[in-house]
Amino acid sequence: MRFEEVAGSRVQLVLDRIDSLSKCANKKNYEYTEKDIQKMFRAINEELRKAKMKFEDELSDSGKAKKVFKF
């Protein structure tokens, strides 16, 4: 199935990047504050929320006619 192939490889890329990001947690090599961590994860969580909403919107719209503007 095309979705599984494409989505599977993209999910793996995201997981690999998250793993790479987690390496920045090493305080011996990097300086950061609690505020930095909050800002970083807030941005990540917001993008995840948006992506999830797109999937949920598509599922809820399945079988429904798209709304068309008319005067």
- Locate the domains of the chain by residue range: 2-55
Of 14-18, 35-39, 51-55, 64-68, the poorest mean pLDDT is in 64-68
Phi, psi (degrees; rounded to nearest 5) at 19: -60, -40
Distances (CA, A) of 31 to 25, 41, 58, 60: 9, 16, 41, 44
Give this prediction's pTM.
0.78
Confidence of residue 66 (pLDDT cuts 50, 70, 90): low
Q: Nearest to residue 40, comparing CAs of 51, 28, 48, 50?
A: 48
pLDDT at position 70 is 84
